[in-house]
Structure 1
Amino acid sequence: MDGFVLSRPDHSVVTRGVRRSFGSSDAATHALSAGTTKLIVGALPFDPAAATALYEPAEATIASRPWQPRDPQTLPTTRVDREIPSSSEHLRRVEKLIGRLRSGEIDKVVAARTVELRTQTPISPTALAARMTALNPVANTFAVDLSAAGAEFEGHSLVGATPEVLVSRRGRVVTCRPLAGTTKRSADSEQDREAGESLLRSTKNLAEHAFVTAWIREVLQPMCSDLSVPATPELTNTHEVWHLASPIRGTLRNDTTALDLAMALHPTPALCGTPTDAALKVIRETEEPRRFYGGAVGWCDDAGDGDWVVAIRCAEISADGLSAWASAGGGIVAESDPQDELDETSTKLRTLLTALGAETLD
C-alpha cells in the first residue's frame, strides 16, 4: 500500500502518497514546529532506538466518520507456518522472567511472542484492514506503509485493530485510556460476567494496571495544569478478552503536540514494563526484535492535534503479501503463572488469526 489509514469509531484519517519521509521522530517534530509541513502520519517502533516510519503524505482526508473502503477485496486463506519462539520456549522465558522479578531486578515486564503466517496469494493490507473494521467496529483500525523506516521495511505494511489509545490531543486537552490487566472472555454469559468481575478483583492484574497509570501520571503531570487519573480502573472488552482500563484526562500547560506526547509516553509499562529502561533492556536481551509491534500508529497536524494508538492486535505484512507476522504479549509480574501468560498471548492472537481465516492457537 502507498498510504495510511487510522479509523476510529467517530472519525478517520486516510492519506495517499508520500511527499517526504523523516528519518526520526525529532525530524518530524521539527518540521511541524517550523511550519514546513501540515500533517505527519505513520508509525513509531516498539524500541525507541529503532527507525521510525513517519512521513508527510501527498494527499489526506480527515472525516468525522469511520473509514469505509471503496472496493473491499477478498483475503486469501493463510496458515500458521511457525511460532517465534515456540510455546515451550515462551514458557521457559516467562519462568526466567518471573525469577528476575522476584529478585527485585524489575517490577514488571511484558513478554511477547510472534506467529509467522504464509499464504499462496498476496494479502492486501486494505482488505485486511476492512475485514478487521467489520469484525471489530469499536476498535481503532489502522493500516500504514512502513517503507519510511528504511530498506528492511520497503513495501511492508502494518495492519491492525487496537482497543488502546496511547494519547489523543485536541487543543489543550489531552486524553489517554491505557489497558493493562487481561482475562479471557467466555461464550457463556454468566461465566463471562464472572470473568470480568474476577478481573476487577485480581490483585495481580490490579497491580499490573497500577504500574501503568502511575507511570503515565509521572510523565504527564509536569506537562499539565490539571490531570485526572481514576483511583481504580474500569472494565472494557473486545470479542476475545476483558481488559482493565483507566480514562485519563488533562489540560496541557503549553502547545505540546500529539506527536511529542506520543514520544514521551511510548513505550508505556503496558507494552514494556517498569522501570521502563530496565524492562526495555530485559526485552532486548530475551526477545527477537519487536519491530513495529507494540509501537504506536497515528497522526499529528500543524496545530499539534492528533491521535496515536498502541500497535497491538496487528500484523506486519511483507512486500509481496505472501508472509505476515502477528505478535501478542502479556504483562509479567512476580505473581504471574507461565501457562496463564502463554494462554493470554494465544487469546490475543485470535484477533488477527480470525481476520485472516487462519487456524487458532491452542
Structure 2
Amino acid sequence: MHRDFAFIQTAPDRVFIGWGPFEQSPMRKPGRPAFYIADFFLDDPHPWRHPAEWEELTFDALADRAGDAPAPKIEWERMTLADFQPIFDSARAAMRRGDFNKIVPVQFENGHLVERTDLWPWLFRRLAQLPSGMSAYGYSYQNHGLAGATPEMLFASDGRGYRTMALAGTRPADRASELLRDPKELREHRMVVDDIIRRLAPFGNIEVETIRILELPGIAHLATPIRFEEIGIERMSFVEMVRRLHPTAALGMSPRTEAGERWLREADRGVKRRTHGAPFGLEVADHRALALVAIRNVQWHGDAIRVGAGAGLLPESQLEREFDELREKREQVKALLGLRASVAIEA
C-alpha cells in the first residue's frame, strides 16, 4: 500500500479510511470529511487532514485489499527499572512540592525491524480481529506509520450532545476484581471523573453512569461512561471539545496546573511522544464526530519501531508496581498486533 492514508474504526466492523494526498489546514473545510490528527500538546497549527478520496468498509474487506504478509521480525531493546526511576523520582518530588496530585509520564520501548517490510498487510489482519471494547485507528505517511487499538474514547457525537468516558486504573486481567477494592486505583479513577465533570459542567447537563470494569485481553481497567448535553441551541464544536477535555487526568495531570504542563513538556524532551496520547478523530460533513485517545499503538519510521505506555503516578505510587503496569500495557499492544515474534536484546 503505497498511498498515504488514515483510518478510524467507526463501528464494531466498520472502518472509515481516507486516501491521500491530504490537504492540511487549521480548520475543517465545510462539506468535506477530515481527520483530526494532533500532537499531544496540540502545538500543530494544522491538525485537520482532508483526504482526496474516502470510503467506509469492513475491516475484513480492507485486510483482503491489503493482501497477506508474514509476521514482522522485530528486535526489542529490553527496558529496565533504572530507565524509569529518574522520571518516577522527578514526579514524586514535584508532588511533594505541591505542583500537582497526579501526573502521567510516557515511556517507549524501542526496537528495529530485522527486515524492512510493509507492515500494513499484517496489521490490518490483526486489527480486523480486535475484541469489543477497543477501537482501531492509524495512518501511513511516506515511511512513517502508526497503528493502534485504543480502549479510550475522548468523545463521540450523540444527538445534541456527546458521549465521553473516564478510563483509569489498571490490573492484569486475572486480577481484575481487585480494581474495585484498591484505594489507589479508585482515587486515581475518581480524579479523572471529577476532571471531566469540572471541564464540562459549566456548559450543560452531565450524566455519570456507574463505574465498571472493562476487561480486555491481558489487562483490565476501571471505566465510567459519561454523557454531556449542552444547554442551548449550538453544540460545542469538535475543536472546542478537544480543548475542553484533552488531556483528561487519565493522560495528563490533576489538577490542571502550569507546573504540571511544564513538567510534562520537560519529560517529553527525551521521549518525543508526538501522537501518543493525543486526540485522533474524524468529523464528517453532517458534523458527526468521533475522537479517540491515541494510546495502545505502535509507531515506526523506516526500520525503527516503538511501543509506548503511560503510568498514572500519585504520591502513594510504588516504583516496581508502576514499572510492571507500563510493561503490561506495552505487552498487550505487542500481543494484539502480533509484534512479539522476536527475541529481546539487552539495551
Calculate the TM-score normalised by the size of structure 2: 0.87
Q: How many angstroms apart in 1 are the aligned matches of 2:308 and 2:56?
A: 29
Partner of 2:72: 76
SS of the aligned residue for 2:27 comes to: helix
The residue type paired with residue 289 of structure 1 is K
Partner of 1:117: 111
Q: For the structure 1 residues 136 and 90, does the alpha-carbon distance in structure 2 shift closer, same or farther, using more than 3 Å as the test?
A: same
Q: For the structure 1 residues 235 and 17, does the alpha-carbon distance in structure 2 shift closer, same or farther, using more than 3 Å as the test?
A: same
* CA deviation after TM superposition for structure 1 residue 103, in Å: 3.3
Please say if residues 169 and 179 of structure 2, whose CA atoms lie closer than 8 Å, have aligned partners that are also in contact. yes
1:250 aligns with 2:254: no
* CA deviation after TM superposition for structure 1 residue 279, in Å: 2.3
Partner of 2:263: 282
Please say if residues 259 and 304 of structure 1, whose CA atoms lie closer than 8 Å, have aligned partners that are also in contact. no
1:268 aligns with 2:251: no
The residue type paired with residue 89 of structure 2 is E
Q: How many angstroms apart in 2 are the aligned matches of 1:326 and 1:314?
A: 6
Please say if residues 28 and 40 of structure 1, whose CA atoms lie closer than 8 Å, have aligned partners that are also in contact. no
The residue type paired with residue 117 of structure 2 is P
Q: How many angstroms apart in 2 are the aligned matches of 1:10 and 1:175?
A: 20
The one-character-per-residue Cα deviations of 1:95-144 (angstroms, maximum 9, x if unpaired) are 33123223322110002110112111224235324313325454101122
Q: How many angstroms apart in 2 are the aligned matches of 1:87 and 1:61?
A: 45
Please say if residues 47 and 290 of structure 1, whose CA atoms lie closer than 8 Å, have aligned partners that are also in contact. no
1:219 aligns with 2:199: yes
Partner of 1:143: 138
Q: For the structure 1 residues 68 and 53, does the alpha-carbon distance in structure 2 shift closer, same or farther, using more than 3 Å as the test?
A: farther
Please say if residues 4 and 42 of structure 1, whose CA atoms lie closer than 8 Å, have aligned partners that are also in contact. no
What does 1:2-41 correspond to in 2, within 5 Å? 2-7=4-9, 8-9=11-12, 11-22=14-25, 27-29=26-28, 31=29, 35=30, 37-41=31-35
Q: For the structure 1 residues 52 and 343, does the alpha-carbon distance in structure 2 shift closer, same or farther, using more than 3 Å as the test?
A: farther
Q: How many angstroms apart in 2 are the aligned matches of 1:202 and 1:214?
A: 18
* CA deviation after TM superposition for structure 1 residue 255, in Å: 2.5
1:317 aligns with 2:300: yes
SS of the aligned residue for 2:20 comes to: strand
Q: How many angstroms apart in 2 are the aligned matches of 1:116 and 1:233?
A: 35
Calculate the TM-score normalised by the size of structure 1: 0.83
* CA deviation after TM superposition for structure 1 residue 307, in Å: 0.7
SS of the aligned residue for 1:18 comes to: coil
Q: For the structure 1 residues 315 and 47, does the alpha-carbon distance in structure 2 shift closer, same or farther, using more than 3 Å as the test?
A: same
Please say if residues 299 and 306 of structure 1, whose CA atoms lie closer than 8 Å, have aligned partners that are also in contact. yes
Q: How many angstroms apart in 2 are the aligned matches of 1:112 and 1:204?
A: 19
Unaligned regions of 5+ residues in structure 2, if any?
Answer: none
Please say if residues 200 and 206 of structure 1, whose CA atoms lie closer than 8 Å, have aligned partners that are also in contact. yes
Partner of 2:129: 134
Of 298, 312, 332, 2:313 maps to: 332
SS of the aligned residue for 1:331 comes to: coil
SS of the aligned residue for 1:312 comes to: coil
Q: How many angstroms apart in 2 are the aligned matches of 1:329 and 1:358?
A: 23
* CA deviation after TM superposition for structure 1 residue 168, in Å: 0.3
Q: How many angstroms apart in 1 are the aligned matches of 2:41 and 2:227?
A: 26
Please say if residues 212 and 268 of structure 1, whose CA atoms lie closer than 8 Å, have aligned partners that are also in contact. yes
Partner of 1:350: 331
Of 160, 180, 183, 1:172 maps to: 160
Unaligned regions of 5+ residues in structure 1, if any?
Answer: 148-153, 186-191
The residue type paired with residue 319 of structure 2 is P
SS of the aligned residue for 1:251 comes to: strand
Q: How many angstroms apart in 1 are the aligned matches of 2:251 and 2:33?
A: 27
* CA deviation after TM superposition for structure 1 residue 179, in Å: 0.8
**Over aligned residues, Cα RMSD in angstroms?**
2.4
The one-character-per-residue Cα deviations of 1:72-92 (angstroms, maximum 9, x if unpaired) are 432321111465xx5313123
Partner of 2:287: 304
* CA deviation after TM superposition for structure 1 residue 275, in Å: 2.4
* CA deviation after TM superposition for structure 1 residue 6, in Å: 1.0
The residue type paired with residue 310 of structure 2 is G
SS of the aligned residue for 1:178 comes to: strand
Please say if residues 75 and 343 of structure 2, whose CA atoms lie closer than 8 Å, have aligned partners that are also in contact. no
* CA deviation after TM superposition for structure 1 residue 200, in Å: 0.8
* CA deviation after TM superposition for structure 1 residue 49, in Å: 2.3
Partner of 1:228: 207
The residue type paired with residue 15 of structure 1 is G
* CA deviation after TM superposition for structure 1 residue 238, in Å: 1.3
